[in-house]
């Protein structure tokens, strides 16, 4: 997670948020993973990607 935290200027890049969420989920930090997935959902413009993110959010609830 530290490596991802050190990367700058990717706030609007959906794959970056998805990578963060994956790591956070594996660390069992589900609340943080949900937050990051929310950021990804805000930035996506792709319907399939948005559905994938919604599915992940549903899984983490």
**Residue range 1-60, pLDDT digits in tens:** 665 665 666 678 899 899 999 999 999 999 999 999 999 999 999 999 999 999 999 988
Q: Alpha-carbon Rg of the chain, whole angstroms?
A: 11
Helices 30-43, 14-26: crossing angle, 10 deg rounding = 170
pLDDT recorded at residue 9: 64
Burial of 43 (0-12, 13-18, 19+ CB in 10 A): middle
pLDDT recorded at residue 23: 93
């Amino acid at each position: 997670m530290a490596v991802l935290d050190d990367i700058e200027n990717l706030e609007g890049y959906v794959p970056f948020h998805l990578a963060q969420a994956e790591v956070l989920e594996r660390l069992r930090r589900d609340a943080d993973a949900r937050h990051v997935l929310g950021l990804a959902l805000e930035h996506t413009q792709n319907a399939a990607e948005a559905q994938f993110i919604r599915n992940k959010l549903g899984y983490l609830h």
